[in-house]
Structure 1
Amino acid sequence: MAQAVVIGAGIGGLTAAAALERDGWSVAVVEQAPSIEPVGSGLAVAPNALRALDTIGVGDDVRKLSAIQGEAGIRRPDGRWLSRTSAEEAQARYGDPTVLLLRSELVGLLSARLSPGVLRLDTRVESVDPEGGLVSTGDGDIATDLIVSADGIRSSTRTTLFPGHPGPVYAGATSWRLIAPAVEDSVPAGETWGRGLVFGVMPLAHDQVYCYATSTTPAGGNAADEKAELTRLFGGWHPPIPALLAGADPDTVLRHDLYSMDTPLPAFHRGRVALIGDAAHAMTPHLGQGACQAIEDAVVLAHHASRTGVAGLAAYTSDRLERTTRIARRSRSIGRLTGWRTPPAVSARDAMLLLAGRLGRDMALRQFDDVFDWRPPA
């Protein structure tokens, strides 16, 4: 039986482990954290990622747990809609809408697909030998046929494989995330764009709302009270933003600077090692595709590795490098657009969005065809 070691028990790593186990591999997932309970945040699973999850039998469970992104779009701080679309239109175009759930729920579904003993928590990887297929941990060495590196944006495995690569760079914005109780029966999903500021709202099941925000600011900043900082920045924006902020628990507000891999890697593999997710192509969240692309990576990698072993890693790189590079660049471009601050630039941007919306409600959806229409390998 072929053996694989997956480094990292995030969404990409767990998906890869489930996909490889489905194909008959003996899998070990090593995770340095003592648990896999993720930080409290929501997640949008787009049609492309739902199709990938269907291949490992998780897609329908995700659909059952999720809220559907109904009416959605982009607004101005005064509440005026600049563009709009709906779940029904997405369903008709792609076969699925984008669905919304807690990140912890998806992690729970994925980990439940794994056999007992696959997860090895509180296990730190000290080094990786890409040619020999050896993973050295604090608990000893593991010899394996395949190493899947899902160890995130600061991946030490990526540094081992490509020591001359510059790695992720600061994207010019910081972000906040929080879960708040719903304040009205129906909260439309979407984003509000201001001058260098964004506030996003994602209704979840069980009367919860996932909120996220970004601000163009130097890296490394923080506030003594992050909820108060959000209220200072967004408290005067349209409803229900002020009420959502008022209802949020200040101790659960998360703040992180945004980084992206502006210089693509030359490949997503070397020797017996394959990189997936943020380790391979860290991107900003402006397309909502970070986790979705990690899920795609995982099922494509399992497809090729299960058919031709380590020789299939070149095909994995071929399938994934161009697509993820294109999506990462597009996400970065949208991030720059939301970062515009001067009144003339913001007015021009809003006019462009408004015009696109007037050209038809499907205009916003058509821009995502190359992202959402993806199909997993047969």
Structure 2
Amino acid sequence: MHATVVGGGIGGLAAAAGLHRVGWTVTVLEKAPAFGDVGAGISLWPNALHSLDELGVDLGDRLAVQTDGGFRDRRGRRITRFDGAEFARRHGRPLGAIHRRDLIAALRAAVPAESLRTGQEVTEVREDGLVRVDSEELRADLVVAADGIHSWARHALFPHHPEPVYSGSTAYRGVAHLPGTGLSTSFDRGTEVGVLPLTGGDVYWWISSVTAPDTGRAGLRQAFENWHDPIPALLAATPPEAVLHHDLHHLDTPLPTYTRGRIALLGDAAHAMPPFLGQGGCQAIEDAVVLAHAVSTEDSVEAALESYDRQRRPRSQRVVRESVRMGRLGPQLTNPVATALRTAVLKRLPAKATARVGAGITGWTPPRLPRPVPPRKP
């Protein structure tokens, strides 16, 4: 059986790794001239780490385990503490963080090199499994459309479905080298600043704001100079040209199905969400392991896609709704009375209780995939 995967990001490569692991031949078509490291860092929650284990993806020593942290206000006063040890005990895996380029590299390593094709402009996707790249036609038993939030494939399959909408915030992201920095999330009215240590002394930071500074990347340092350490130091250590800036969008109107014919939508193409739960990439990885399990256990591609849609659509669309709600209650909250009430509630939250928050999302466990049989020694 052969699958064509449109898109070589986290979701597309995870799908390719899973399909390869269960014995399928895969071809990954990436539009860019190379599988790059676009992006900064990414948080990997236990649901994603368990799924990567099933997919046979080895992160090695590139994963940074988050052991302690918590919420703070802009002056650095602690609001509540995150108990990393209790979190890992409850979930069987910790909260982790990794540079996106390292995650992409680990996913690529789980896919045969001959399966990866770059510079591929897809011009047609048909429900019978045909994919056209320029004048070349590729036919497959399954097509996985993992071409991102502004998915060309989704628009072709659902031309009248509403496009992603603005979530209400804009975001800045970057990576700085500042050894010894710990995990933290800091709030002010309408603004969130997250700090997530990576390996090797690097630190991933992000800012989301409903009233973003109009000075652009170069003005960030001045705009946040009165926030607590290490936020000013992280911004000072990041060259302005290395800062990523984009508005946050999500697919507000749920799709009626993630499949059409022999095509499966996956990741942001199916359920783009705002980043306020850190689940965008995690949900794409979940999609991949469920799809691989479905094609390895069902009697036909049609039955497998029906199973994939039945399992993934309710859960992932729930995570989209929860992400939107978390944004409105957290970094997008601007009312001073409501902000003070939120802070008061969080201050009363015991550290061990933070390990239980969101367990219905982060505590998800993937289905077991067939293990490849090692070749016999001569």
Normalising by structure 2, we get a TM-score of 0.93
Pairwise CA distance, 1:307: 2.5
Residue 316 of structure 2 corresponds to 324
Q: Secondary structure at the match of 2:227?
A: coil
CA distance in 2, matches of 1:284, 1:20: 27
Q: Secondary structure at the match of 1:117?
A: helix
Percent of aligned pairs with the same amino acid: 43
Q: Give the letter for the 1:121 counterpart.
A: T
**In structure 1, distance between residues paired with 2:357 and 2:11:** 25
Alignment of 1:205 with 2:196, yes or no, is no
Partner SS for 1:206: helix
Is the Cα–Cα contact under 8 Å of residues 266 and 284 in structure 2 kept in the other structure?
yes
- Tell me whether 1:342 sits opposite 2:341 in the alignment: no
1:145 counterpart residue number: 141
Out of 234, 237, 259, which is 2:227 matched to? 237
Cα distance between partner residues in 2 of 1:363 and 1:86: 8
- Please point out which of 132, 139, 151 is paired with 1:136: 132
The secondary structure found in structure 1 opposite 2:170 is strand
Which residue of structure 2 aligns with residue 54 of structure 1? 53
Is the partner of 2:59 in helix, strand or coil? helix
- Secondary structure of 1:362's counterpart equals helix
Q: Is the 8 A contact 2:185 2:194 kept in 1?
A: yes
User: How far off its partner does 1:343 sit?
Assistant: 1.9
Contact 2:84 2:94 (8 Å CA) reproduced: yes
Please tell me the residue identity of whatever aligns with 1:102.
Answer: H
| Contact 2:189 2:332 (C-alpha < 8 Å) held by counterparts | yes
**Equivalent position amino acid for 1:51 in 2:** H
Q: Which residue of 2 aligns with 1:193?
A: 187
For 2:270 and 2:197, how far apart are their aligned partners in 1?
30
Displacement of 1:374 in angstroms is 0.9
Is the contact made by 1:31 and 1:123 (CA closer than 8 Å) also made in structure 2? Answer: yes
Paired residue for 1:162, among 150, 155, 158?
Answer: 158
Distance in 2, Cα, partners of 1:116 & 1:352: 51
Counterpart of 1:376 (choices 340, 350, 366) is: 366
Aligned-residue offset at 1:52: 0.5
The 5 A counterparts of 1:262-301 are 262-301=252-291
- Which of 165, 174, 181 lines up with 2:177 in the alignment? 181
Match of 1:256 in 2: 246
Equivalent residue number for residue 375 of structure 2? none
- CA-CA distance at 1:188 after TM superposition: 2.1
- Note the alpha carbon deviations across 1:62-81, whole angstroms, 9 max, x for none: 25211111212211111111
C-alpha displacement of 1:306? 2.5
CA distance in 1, matches of 2:217, 2:354: 33
1:311 is aligned to 303
Q: CA deviation at 1:91?
A: 1.3
Give, as a single letter, the amino acid of the residue that structure 1 aligns with 2:6: I
- Equivalent in the alignment of 1:118: 115
Equivalent residues of 2:17, 2:56 under 8 A apart: no
Q: Give 1:167 shift.
A: 2.2
Task: Note the C-alpha offset of 1:333.
Answer: 0.9
**Aligned-partner residue type, residue 108 of structure 1:** A
Q: Is the 8 A contact 1:123 1:139 kept in 2?
A: no
Answer whether contact 2:32 2:120 (CA < 8 A) is retained: yes
Q: Which amino acid aligns with 2:29?
A: V
Q: Determine helix, strand or coil for the equivalent of 2:173.
A: strand
Write the distance in 2 (CA, Å) between the matches of 1:372 and 1:215: 25
Tell me the alpha carbon deviations over residues 193-251 of structure 1, each in whole angstroms, 9 at most, x when there is no partner: 10111110001111111000011048xx964x4032x2233221111111111111111
Aligned-partner residue type, residue 16 of structure 1: A
Return the alpha-carbon distance in structure 2 between the equivalents of residues 178 and 227 of structure 1: 13
Give 1:322's aligned amino acid. P
Q: Counterpart amino acid of 2:347?
A: L
SS in structure 1 opposite 2:93?
Answer: coil
Structure 1 gaps of 5+ residues are: none
Q: What is the deviation of 1:261?
A: 1.2
In structure 2, the partner of 1:227 is 218
Name the SS for the 2:148 alignment partner.
Answer: coil
Contact kept? 1:40, 1:179, Cα under 8 Å: no
What code does the residue aligned with 1:83 have? T
**Residues 1:90 and 2:82 aligned together:** no
Question: Which runs of 5 or more residues in structure 2 are unaligned?
Answer: 369-378
In the other structure, the counterpart of 1:17 is 16
Q: Which residue of 1 aligns with 2:32?
A: 33
CA displacement 1:290-323 (0-9 Å, x = unmatched): 0000000001011112332232111111111111
Give, in whole Å, the separation in 2 of the partners of 1:374 and 1:97: 13
Q: TM-score, normalised by structure 1?
A: 0.93
The code of the aligned residue for 1:270 comes to R
Tell me the matched-pair count: 365
Contact in 1 for aligned 2:84/2:355 (Cα 8 Å): no
CA contact (8 A) 1:227 1:245 kept: no
Match in the other structure for 1:333: 325
* Contact 2:83/2:354, CA 8 A, preserved across alignment: no
> Which residue does the alignment assign to 1:215?
209
**Greater than 4 Å deviation, 4+ residue runs:** none
Give the AA of the match of 1:10: G
User: Which amino acid letter does the alignment assign opposite residue 226 of structure 2?
Assistant: G
